[in-house]
Chains A and B, each alone.
Chain A
Amino acid sequence: MAVCVAVIAKENYPLYIRSVPTESELKFHYMVHTSLDVVDEKISAMGKALVDQRELYLGLLYPTEDYKVYGYVTNSKVKFVMVVDSSNTALRDNEIRSMFRKLHNSYTDVMCNPFYNPGDRIQSRAFDSMVTSMMVQVC
C-alpha cells in the first residue's frame, strides 16, 4: 500500500526510512524531507490547541503528480511520514489513519525496548516486518 514509510526524530533527522526497492531510494528521502516543511507548519499551527485535544494524524501533507504524502506526529514530536501512490484510490483517509496507528503502536513497542536508546536509528526486526506488511501489498 505504502511505497515509503519514514520515522523522523523530534530534531528532524530520520530514525527509520524505508521505501519500495523498485524506485530510487533517494527520491523518497527527498520527498520525506521536503514534507517536513508542511509537518512543521502544521505542528506550529496546532501548538495553540490544547494538548489533550490534539489530533495526531496530520492528514495529506501535499500531493505530487504521482504520490500522496501523509503525516502523523506523536505527542513527543516524533513524526511518521507515509508516501502512497496517487493512483491507489482505494486508500481512504480511514485506512491511512489505521496504518499510522499501527505504525505508532509498533514504534511504541520499539521505545519500550530497554535496549533501545531513544534517538538512535530504529533497527528492530518487529518494526521492520510491520512496515513490510504495510508496503508488501503494492509489490
Chain B
Amino acid sequence: MSPTQWDFPVELCCRPMAFVTLTGLDVVYNAVHRAVWDAFCANRRADRVPISFKVLPGDHEYPKCRPKRTSYEWYIPKGILKTGWMNKHLNLVPALVVVFYELDWDEPQWKEKQSECATRVEIVRQSLQGRNTKVAVVLIQKKTPLPPGEDVIASERAAALCNACELSGKSLFVLPHTDHLVGYIIRLENAFYEHAQTYYYTEIRRVKSHKEFLNKTTHQLLFVRHQFKIAFFSELKQDTQNALKNYRTAYNLVHELRAHETNILEIKTMAGFINYKICRLCFQHNTPLDAIAQFRKHIDLCKKKIGSAELSFEHAAWMSKQFQAFGDLFDEAIKLGLTAIQTQNPGFYYQQAAYYAQERKQLAKALCHHEPSVTYPSPDPLETQTGVLDFYGQRSWRQGILSFDLSDPEKEKAGILAVQLKERSVVHSEIIITLLSNAVAQFKKYKCPRMKSHLMVQMGEEYYYAKDYTKALKLLDYVMCDYRSEGWWTLLTSILTTALKCSYLMAQLKDYITYSLELLGRASTLKDDQKSRIEKNLINVLMNESPDPEPDCDILAVKTAQKLWADRISLAGSNVFTIGVQDFVPFVQCKAKFHAPSFHVDVPVQFDIYLKADCPHPIRFSKLCVSFNNQEYNQFCVIEEASKASEVLENLTQGKMCLVPGKTRKFLFKFVAKTEDVGKKIEITSVDLVLGNEAGRCVVLSWQGGGGDAASAQEALQASRSFKRRPKLAAGEVHWDSVVGQASTMIISRVPNISVHLRHDPPALTNEMYCLLVTVESHEKTPIRDVKLTAGLKPGQDANLTQKTHVTLHGTELCDESYPALLTDIPVGDLHPGEQLEKMLYVRCGTVGSRMFLVYVSYLINTTIEEKEIICKCHKDETVTIETVFPFDVAVKFVSTKFEHLERVYADIPFLLMTDVLSASPWALTVVSSELRLAPSMTPVDQLESQLDKVVLQTGESASECFCLRCPSTGNVEGGVATGHYIISWKRTSATENIPAISTVITLPHVIVENIPLHVNADLPSFGRVRESLPVKYHLQNKTDLVQDVEVSVEPSDAFMFSGLKQIRLRILPGTEQEMLYNFYPLMAGYQQLPSLNINLLRFPNFTNQLLRRFIPTSIFVKPQGRLVDDASIAAA
C-alpha cells in the first residue's frame, strides 16, 4: 500500500483534452517535420483549441477494441470503473489519426506516391480496427497553393487521392511549407478539433446505445460506469455543461448502489472521483457555491460509510483526502480569480483534512499495534498479477468478486493484516503537518490570526508527537505570546505544558526553566500538585541535578533525555541564565516604588522592592539587585545572602531572602544621590532576582523598569477599578494590589536656607536707572561659599522686552543697548551664618508695561548625610513683577500772541509755543533742565531760556513753558512744518547726586503755516487814562508781491474820541509798510472796546476783519483820571 494510495489518479485530475496522434512525421532527422511538430506543440496558448498531440509512427499499434457485445443478458460486470479506462482515452486511443505525407501537386511520380500514401492510410486503418477513430491526411508541400478552383491539376489529383485513400474530401489537407507555418497549423488544428468532436460525439452515442440492454438488477454497476464514461467523453468534447450533468447523474447512481462492507471502498472511491469532477467543473463554471454545496452533500452522505471497523483508518484517510482535494480545487479557483472570504476559504478544508488525518493516526495507533511477532502475510495479499488493480477501489485479494459473502475468511484476514501492517509505516505526522501548514497559509491570507495560532499549536503538538522537539518548541514559542497577550490562560497553560515536555526531552536548560517559571506563575491553570512537582523539578535543576521526567512522555525519549540531563550536570560552562520576564508571567511578581517622586540631594533616596511568589512552596533566592540609569548607584542596591545551594529549601520561613507564597515581601533600599544628578531623573532600569547559586546554576529573573510582566498591566487596571475591601493584614504587611509602582524619581537640589529680599520703589519710570536693592541673608548653620547672583529680566518673556531692558550694577552712568537684560553669576563672595549682604542693581526699561525680574542666588555648602560629606549647591530665586510707566505727560499747543488757540500759524507772524509737563510719576520728579531745540524752519523771536530748571514736580503737578517763535514763509508745505524737539532732563527727586539725569526727548508737532496778504500790528501803550491822549500806531505791511489797494476805516466808539484818518483808501507797495497814526482819547474808565479798525483789501476779499482781530488788540484798559494834590475838584469840594 503506497502512501499515495489515497491520492487521486493523475488522469482524473487533469483537464481532459481531445487526443490526436500525428503519424508520418520524422521529428528527429527531418527539419521540416520538426518545424511542423514544434508549431503544433510549442507555446500552446490558452486561445488554441484544447487538443493533446502525440507523434507516433505510422505503424503504431493502438489498443485493441474488444468485440462488440450483442447482448448484455449474461454479462455481469466485475467492478465500476477499470483503472486503465481514463488513461486509455486520454493517451492511447486517439480521436483522430493524422497521416503526414510529403507530396506536391506537380509531383512527377504521382502515381507511385499516391499509392504509397494510400498504403500508409491503410496501415493506420488496420491498427484502428473496430474503432471509430477518424483518419485524416495532410500533404506537406513545398509550393504555395493557388487559390481553390484555379489549379485544375490540384483538384483532379486531390479527388484521385481521396479516392485512393477512401477519404472524404474534408479529411484531406494541404500544408504548404512556407513562411506562414503557424497560421496554417492553427487552421489545421481547428479542423482536427472538429473531427475529434465528432469522434467523441459518436462515442457518447455509442455508450448511450448500450443503456437499453441493461437491467436494474445485475447491471447496477454498469449504470454508473456508462454515465461516467458519457460524462468523461463530454469533457473530452469540451462540453462541460453536459459533462457536469452526467457526472451529477453518475454521482446519484453511485449512491444507489447496494453498499456492503466488501464494496464500500469501491463505492466511496468512485463517489470521491465523481465528486471531484463535479466540484472541479463547478469551479470552472464559476459557481463556487454549487461546488461547496456538492461537497457538503458528498461529505454528509459518505461520513458515516466507514466500512470495516478493522480498517476504519482507511475511512479517515479517505475523508482527509476528500477535504484536501477540495481545498486544492478551491485554492486553484482563487488563483484564477475567485474571491474567498474569512469564513469560507480553503483553510477550513485543509484544517478538516488535517483533523481527519489526525483521526487516521489515532485509529491506526489503536488498530495497528500488533505484536512484533506478527509477520507480514505471505504470499502478499496486496500483490496483484499486473501490479495494479483492475478496478478502482477494490481489494487486491478479491478482485472482481461481487458477492457480499466472504468466500475465504482466511484470505480476508491476511489481507486486513497486510493493510494494517502497511499503515504502520505511514508517517502520519508528516501528512498532518503538511495539511496544517497549508491551512495556516490560507488563514493568514484571510485575516484569521487566532485560527492561525491555533493551527500552529496543533502543528507544534504534531511535531512533538513526531519527536521533532526543536521544531515543536519553535512553533509553540512563536504562538505563546498571542495567547498570553490576550489572557487565555487555559490555552497558554496547555501550550506551556507541551513546551515544557519538549524542553525536558531535549534537556534545554533555559527553555525548561523559563517554562517552569511560567507554569508556576499565576497565569498557569495547573493544579497545585502539578505546580509542586514542577517547582521541585525547578529547584532540582537549580541545584545542578536532573529533574524528574514530565508525565506522559514517550519512554524511549525519556531515556534519551535522562542521558542528556546527566551530561548537562557534568558539563560546566554557562550556568547563569538571565531571563527577561517582561514578556511572560513568571511566578515571582515584582514592583519597585520610590518613596517620593523627588528627593532633595541632601536626603538619602529610598525605595522599596516588593516581591510576591505565586508558587505553591516558599522559595529562597540568593540575590536581589537593582540597576539604575546611572549605574553608579547599582552597587548600593544589592541584597545578597551567602547560602549554600542545598539550603534553598531549608530554613524557609525565617530567612530574609525567602518568599512565602501569596505574601508580599518588601525590601527597603537606600542610597545617597550624587550632587551631579541634581535636576536629573533616576530611573530603575531593571530589577534582577537571582534564584539558585551563582556557583552552581542560577537563574536571573530580570524585570525591566519598575517590575511588571506580561499580565501585570491588566491586573493593575482591574485592581484600580476594584472597590472591594481588602482583608486586613498583619502589621507590616501590605496588600499586593495596593502597591502602585513608581520606577523613577527626580533628584532636586537641597532646600536653600537663605533669604533674599528685594527693595525698590515701583513703578519704574521709562528709561530711568531703576534701583533694585537685593539683600541676601544666610540662615545656614555653616558658612556658605561662592555666593553668586543672577539677576535681570526673567527669560522666557516677550523677546522685545529683552531688547528694551538693560541691567547694570553701576547706577552712575546710563546704560545703553550694549548692556544685557540678564546679568549672570555675579560673584558676591562668602557669607557666614547670620550675615547678610546687599547689592544694588540698576534696571533701565525702555518701554512701558510690566516685566518679570528674576533674582537668583546660588551658593555652595558642605553637608553630611549618612556619614558622607557632600558639597551641595543650593539656590534660591525671587521673582518680582515691575510695572514701567511714563514719568510725565507733555502737552504742546500753539497760541497767538494774544494766547488764542491757533489751528495754523501765519508766516512771519510771531506766535507762542506752550509746553505743559504733567507729572504722572507717583514719586516727586526734579526737572533738571529743559531745552527747546528748534527745527531750521523755525526761528525764535527772543531768547529760548529754560523756565523750568530745578523745578520739583509732585504727582499730578504740571509745569508749563512758553516760547515766542516765528515761522518764515515757506510756501505751502504738505503736512505742516516741523517745529523741533523739546528735551526734558529729569530725575527722581529722591535720587542721589551721582545718579545721572535722564533726558526725555519729545518731538513737537508739525504746524501748518499759512501766508496772509496783509499784516497789521498795532503800537499802543499797555493802558490808557481817562481824558489823556492815547497814541496808537497801526503798521500795515504788504506781504505780497503785488501792490495792494487798501480801504481803511475806523468806526467810532462811545468810549473814545479820536483823531486821525477816519476813512482812507491807499496803496501799499510790495514788501513795504504803511503807518497809520491815531490819537485816541478815552472818555470812560474800565476795560473798553477800542474804535474798531476795518480794513478791506480789494484784491483779497477773503481777508476779513475777523482775521484782522487776531493781530490787533480790540480792547484796552482805561484807568480813571488820577488825582493830583492840587486838584480842582478837591478845591471844588
- Interface residues of A, Cβ cutoff 8 Å to B: 11-14, 17, 25-26, 29-30, 33-34, 36-38, 41, 61-62, 64-65, 115, 117-120
Query: Which residues of B have CB within 8 Å of A64?
Result: 348, 352
Query: Which residues of A have CB within 8 Å of B488?
Result: 13-14, 29, 33
Query: Which residues of B have CB within 8 Å of A13?
Result: 486-488, 714
Query: Which residues of A have CB within 8 Å of B355?
Result: 65
Q: How far is the CA of A36 from the CA of B724 in the complex (A)?
A: 31
Q: Which of B299, B486, B491, B723 contacts A12 (CB 8 A)?
A: B486
Report B326-351 residues with CB < 8 Å from chain A CB. Answer: 342-343, 348
Contact code string B6-39 (vs A, CB < 8 Å = 1, else 0): 0000000000000000000000000000000000
Report if A37-B722 is in contact (Cβ < 8 Å); known contacts: A12-B486, A25-B490. no
Q: How far is the CA of A64 from the CA of B349 in the complex (A)?
A: 10
Is B88 an interface residue when CB atoms closer than 8 A count as contact?
A: no
Q: How far is the CA of A41 from the CA of B341 in the complex (A)?
A: 11
Q: Which of A11, A33, A120 contacts B450 (CB 8 A)?
A: A33
In this complex, what residue of B is CB-closest to A41? B342
For B, the interface residue count at a CB cutoff of 8 angstroms equals 27
- Taking A14-B487, A117-B722 as known contacts, 16 extra A-B pairs with beta carbons closer than 8 A to each other, sorted by chain A number, are A11-B487, A12-B487, A13-B714, A14-B488, A29-B488, A30-B457, A33-B454, A36-B450, A37-B447, A37-B449, A37-B450, A62-B348, A64-B348, A65-B352, A117-B718, A117-B724
Would you call B721 and A117 a contact (CB within 8 A)? yes
Contact code string B701-742 (vs A, CB < 8 Å = 1, else 0): 000000000000010011001111000000000000000000
Selected A-B contacts with CB under 8 Å, 24 pairs: A11-B486, A11-B714, A12-B486, A13-B488, A26-B494, A29-B488, A29-B490, A33-B450, A33-B454, A33-B486, A33-B491, A34-B451, A34-B454, A36-B450, A37-B448, A37-B450, A37-B451, A38-B343, A41-B447, A65-B355, A115-B724, A117-B721, A117-B722, A119-B717
Would you call B343 and A61 a contact (CB within 8 A)? yes
Would you call B714 and A120 a contact (CB within 8 A)? no
Q: 10 closest A-B pairs (Cβ-Cβ)? A: A13-B487, A37-B448, A34-B451, A117-B722, A62-B343, A34-B450, A37-B450, A12-B486, A34-B454, A30-B454
In this complex, what residue of B is CB-closest to A12? B486
In this complex, what residue of B is CB-closest to A119? B718
In this complex, what residue of A is CB-closest to B721? A117
Query: Which residues of B have CB within 8 Å of A65?
Result: 299, 352, 355
Query: Which residues of B have CB within 8 Å of A12?
Result: 486-487
- In the complex, what's the smallest C-beta–C-beta distance from B297 to chain A, in angstroms? 14
Query: Which residues of B have CB within 8 Å of A41?
Result: 342, 447
Q: How far is the CA of A14 from the CA of B492 in the complex (A)?
A: 13
Report B489-544 residues with CB < 8 Å from chain A CB. Answer: 490-491, 494
Query: Which residues of A have CB within 8 Å of B717?
Result: 119
Query: Which residues of B have CB within 8 Å of A34?
Result: 448, 450-451, 454
Query: Which residues of A have CB within 8 Å of B342?
Result: 37-38, 41
Q: How far is the CA of A41 from the CA of B299 in the complex (A)?
A: 29
In this complex, what residue of B is CB-closest to A37? B448
In this complex, what residue of A is CB-closest to B344? A62
Q: How far is the CA of A41 from the CA of B451 in the complex (A)?
A: 13
Would you call B718 and A120 a contact (CB within 8 A)? yes
Q: How far is the CA of A117 from the CA of B718 in the complex (A)?
A: 8
- In the complex, what's the smallest C-beta–C-beta distance from B718 to chain A, in angstroms? 5
Query: Which residues of B have CB within 8 Å of A38?
Result: 342-343, 448
- In the complex, what's the smallest C-beta–C-beta distance from B90 to chain A, in angstroms? 35
Q: How far is the CA of A26 from the CA of B483 in the complex (A)?
A: 13
Query: Which residues of B have CB within 8 Å of A120?
Result: 718, 722
In this complex, what residue of A is CB-closest to B451? A34
Counting chain A CB atoms within 10 Å of each CB, which of B348, B447, B449, B488 scores highest?
Answer: B488
Q: How far is the CA of A34 from the CA of B348 in the complex (A)?
A: 12
Query: Which residues of A have CB within 8 Å of B486?
Result: 11-13, 33
Contact code string B355-374 (vs A, CB < 8 Å = 1, else 0): 10000000000000000000
- In the complex, what's the smallest C-beta–C-beta distance from A114 to chain B, in angstroms? 9
Report if A26-B724 is in contact (Cβ < 8 Å); known contacts: A117-B718, A119-B717. no
Report if A117-B490 is in contact (Cβ < 8 Å); known contacts: A11-B714, A65-B352. no
Contact code string B207-243 (vs A, CB < 8 Å = 1, else 0): 0000000000000000000000000000000000000
Query: Which residues of B have CB within 8 Å of A33?
Result: 450, 454, 483, 486, 488, 491
Q: How far is the CA of A37 from the CA of B486 in the complex (A)?
A: 13
Q: How far is the CA of A13 from the CA of B450 in the complex (A)?
A: 13
Q: How far is the CA of A37 from the CA of B450 in the complex (A)?
A: 6
Report if A30-B491 is in contact (Cβ < 8 Å); known contacts: A11-B714, A37-B448, A37-B450. yes
Q: How far is the CA of A9 from the CA of B818 in the complex (A)?
A: 69
- In the complex, what's the smallest C-beta–C-beta distance from A11 to chain B, in angstroms? 7
Query: Which residues of B have CB within 8 Å of A25?
Result: 490
In this complex, what residue of B is CB-closest to A28? B490
Q: Which of A29, A36, A117 contacts B723 (CB 8 A)?
A: A117
Query: Which residues of A have CB within 8 Å of B448?
Result: 34, 37-38
Query: Which residues of A have CB within 8 Å of B352?
Result: 64-65
Query: Which residues of B have CB within 8 Å of A62?
Result: 343, 348
In this complex, what residue of A is CB-closest to B355? A65
Query: Which residues of B have CB within 8 Å of A14?
Result: 487-488, 490
Q: How far is the CA of A117 from the CA of B299 in the complex (A)?
A: 47
Would you call A26 and B447 a contact (CB within 8 A)? no
Query: Which residues of B have CB within 8 Å of A11?
Result: 486-487, 714
- In the complex, what's the smallest C-beta–C-beta distance from A7 to chain B, in angstroms? 13
In this complex, what residue of A is CB-closest to B717? A119
- In the complex, what's the smallest C-beta–C-beta distance from B350 to chain A, in angstroms? 13
Q: How far is the CA of A89 from the CA of B1100 in the complex (A)?
A: 122
Query: Which residues of A have CB within 8 Å of B490?
Result: 14, 17, 25-26, 29
Counting chain B CB atoms within 10 Å of each CB, which of A14, A34, A62 scores highest?
Answer: A34
In this complex, what residue of A is CB-closest to B299? A65
Q: How far is the CA of A25 from the CA of B493 in the complex (A)?
A: 13
Q: How far is the CA of A115 from the CA of B725 in the complex (A)?
A: 10
In this complex, what residue of B is CB-closest to A30? B454
Q: Which of A29, A36, A37, A118 contacts B721 (CB 8 A)?
A: A118
- In the complex, what's the smallest C-beta–C-beta distance from B327 to chain A, in angstroms? 14
Query: Which residues of B have CB within 8 Å of A61?
Result: 343
Q: Which of B343, B348, B451, B491 contacts A29 (CB 8 A)?
A: B491
Query: Which residues of A have CB within 8 Å of B348?
Result: 62, 64
Counting chain B CB atoms within 10 Å of each CB, which of A14, A33, A117 scores highest?
Answer: A33
Query: Which residues of B have CB within 8 Å of A119?
Result: 717-718, 721
Q: How far is the CA of A36 from the CA of B717 in the complex (A)?
A: 23
Q: How far is the CA of A6 from the CA of B832 in the complex (A)?
A: 77
- In the complex, what's the smallest C-beta–C-beta distance from A105 to chain B, in angstroms? 23
Would you call A26 and B343 a contact (CB within 8 A)? no
Query: Which residues of B have CB within 8 Å of A115?
Result: 724
In this complex, what residue of B is CB-closest to A114? B723
- In the complex, what's the smallest C-beta–C-beta distance from A30 to chain B, in angstroms? 5
Contact code string B404-434 (vs A, CB < 8 Å = 1, else 0): 0000000000000000000000000000000
Q: How far is the CA of A13 from the CA of B488 in the complex (A)?
A: 6
Q: How far is the CA of A56 from the CA of B450 in the complex (A)?
A: 22
- In the complex, what's the smallest C-beta–C-beta distance from A86 to chain B, in angstroms? 10
- In the complex, what's the smallest C-beta–C-beta distance from A116 to chain B, in angstroms? 10
In this complex, what residue of B is CB-closest to A117? B722
In this complex, what residue of B is CB-closest to A9? B487
Q: How far is the CA of A61 from the CA of B486 in the complex (A)?
A: 20
In this complex, what residue of A is CB-closest to B486? A12
Contact code string B292-330 (vs A, CB < 8 Å = 1, else 0): 000000010000000000000000000000000000000
Query: Which residues of A have CB within 8 Å of B449?
Result: 37
- In the complex, what's the smallest C-beta–C-beta distance from A122 to chain B, in angstroms? 13
In this complex, what residue of B is CB-closest to A32? B488
In this complex, what residue of A is CB-closest to B323? A65
Q: How far is the CA of A118 from the CA of B448 in the complex (A)?
A: 28
Query: Which residues of A have CB within 8 Å of B454?
Result: 30, 33-34
Contact code string B442-464 (vs A, CB < 8 Å = 1, else 0): 00000111110010010000000
In this complex, what residue of A is CB-closest to B443? A37
Query: Which residues of B have CB within 8 Å of A36?
Result: 450
In this complex, what residue of A is CB-closest to B487? A13
